Structure 1
Amino acid sequence: MIPLIGIGSPTLALEIELLGMTFLLCSLIGVERQFQRKYAGYRTHVLVGLGSCAFTMVSGYGFAAVLGTDVTLDPSRIAAQIVSGIGFLGAGVIFKGRSTVRGLTTAATIWVAAAIGMACGAGMLSLGIILTLLHLVTLWVVAPLVRRIPDRDRRRTLRLTYVDGKGVLRSVLGAATDMGCTVGIIRTRRTAKKGEEALVHLDAKFFGKPPIHDLVTELTEVDGVRRVQVLAQGEDADDD
């Protein structure tokens, strides 16, 4: 840790060192988000980190000239506002649909980039480095392993009952795709009673990130869908 608070105005070399380290660490985070093709990519994360670093340095010793016997410097007065300010910026990358929320991870990485900038601006370079490493390990190592953990949704099948001949299946597949799901159709069965509209009973597996209850809610709202039923593994798909 480089002691900064209370030492007076820092040297140019020290300022370059702190800003340079912030640029390097936040670049690593930004490259990962850019690689994932997120709305907030490299530029956003680097600029957030550099801004947070600069604000922290200004807050720490930017007003040393006004210190006196009757003046007390609070080095946290500006830096504390970074936390709330980044909250508004992170909210801008969160997108909420009718039953899904996207962008939470990117919003969290912006928050982390700000924390790294603040750590570097305060001279806590080791904290900034460790935070960056833990961030990258979480996204590149731990997250892929967590996605491989089996869950009960993967052992379930959905049965959709919808009106035949009105393009409902196309709308269902489009809604599932918008939620990030792929569809594996198992079987279909058409029923038609005299005087009533023809119905199709579709049994399919939906693979993707959204929980099964979110998917059911989304598909139920598709025009023409009469019923969405969750079938447990081993249940007879032809049994009404």
Structure 2
Amino acid sequence: MTHVLAAMDSAHGQGWRQLGELLVAFVLSSVIGLERQFQGKSAGLRTQTIVGTASALILIVSKYGFSDVLQPGTVVLDPSRVAAQIVSGIGFLGAGLIITCRGAIRGLTTAASVWETAAIGMAAGAGLPLLALLVTGLHFVIVFAYTPLGRLMSARGQAERTYTITYEDGRGVLRDLLATCTSHSWTISSLDIADRARTQSDDHRVPLVMISLRFHGRGADAATSTLAGIDGVVRVDQGEDEND
């Protein structure tokens, strides 16, 4: 019994306090993971929970894992050095979640959420549960309150967006696209022909053209319906979604 109590001594890093800190990290990171899973993101429930719980464990190991080799005046360790490596390590994981496709950058919010989950786990592992709880609450403020606010500001501001537009060739659609941009005071930054293809439509081979169009101006963030309404446009894909 004495050995069990000694093993559960908080001073040695394996007490009820440390168990509670790990559980706090597990619960809070799971909450963020559930939100990401609900949004259908690549870093969902399992990824976020593993990142947060593992970060808390690494920080606890950093604080208590070397106590048996410490000797005053001889062996001195800085517990913050191990914790600092968590930030660098999570940076590599986040970089793998960021995808660039046809000029559109996706995954920034997901990568940032993984970094945030690691910070929450570190706070829990450091014995700062109130800060971990606060940041978890602020995560939902950012996701659910700031997303529509950001879209509103983009619609009213000078947003810059990239659209991949597929249209039927030979119908003057490109001319109409440029005229639409001019009428809405959208300034075109770049226009590239991405691909040429053919598709079956009404038993006739209809040539299609796919272009990448980047422009900025008021309302550019919500131009999908406007561009799709042009006669001859087959498909419009918007890049750089803020809710990534």
Partner of 2:63: 60
Give the one of 189, 195, 201 matched to 2:173.
201
Q: Cα deviation per residue 1:133-181 (whole Å; 9 max; x = unaligned)?
A: 1111011112212212223568xxx9xxxxxxxxxxxx9338xxxxxxx
- Equivalent pair of 2:59/2:83 in contact (CA under 8 Å): yes
Q: Which runs of structure 2 are paired with 1:136-151 in the superposition (5 Å)?
A: 136-149=140-153, 150-151=155-156
Partner of 2:16: 13
How many angstroms apart in 1 are the aligned matches of 2:63 and 2:33? 26
- Equivalent pair of 2:188/2:214 in contact (CA under 8 Å): no
Q: CA deviation at 1:12?
A: 3.0
Q: CA deviation at 1:71?
A: 1.2
Extract unaligned runs of 5+ from structure 2: 1-9, 197-208, 219-229, 231-244
Q: Which runs of 4+ in 1 moved over 6 A?
A: 225-233
Extract unaligned runs of 5+ from structure 1: 1-6, 159-170, 175-187, 191-197
Give the one of 101, 107, 110 matched to 1:106.
110
Q: Cα deviation per residue 1:211-234 (whole Å; 9 max; x = unaligned)?
A: 9757x54x543435799797999x
Larger mean CA deviation between 141-150 and 7-16 belongs to 7-16
| 1:148 partner SS | helix
Q: CA deviation at 1:53?
A: 0.3
- Equivalent pair of 1:30/1:42 in contact (CA under 8 Å): yes
TM-score w.r.t. the length of structure 2 is 0.65
Q: Cα deviation per residue 1:2-43 (whole Å; 9 max; x = unaligned)?
A: xxxxx7313431122101111111111111110110111010
Q: Cα deviation per residue 1:76-107 (whole Å; 9 max; x = unaligned)?
A: 12111111100001111111113111001000
- Equivalent pair of 1:8/1:64 in contact (CA under 8 Å): no
| 1:40 partner SS | coil
How many angstroms apart in 1 are the aligned matches of 2:44 and 2:91? 17
Amino acid paired to 1:41: G
Q: Which runs of structure 2 are paired with 1:66-105 in the superposition (5 Å)?
A: 66-69=69-72, 70-105=74-109
TM-score w.r.t. the length of structure 1 is 0.66
Partner of 1:43: 46
Residues 1:232 and 1:56: Cα distance change in structure 2 (over 3 Å)? closer
Paired residues in the alignment total: 187
| 1:129 pairs with 2:133 | yes
How many angstroms apart in 1 are the aligned matches of 2:17 and 2:214? 63
How many angstroms apart in 2 are the aligned matches of 1:58 and 1:227? 50
How many angstroms apart in 2 are the aligned matches of 1:100 and 1:54? 36
Q: What CA RMSD, in Å, does the superposition of the two structures yield over aligned residues?
A: 3.6
How many angstroms apart in 2 are the aligned matches of 1:231 and 1:49? 38
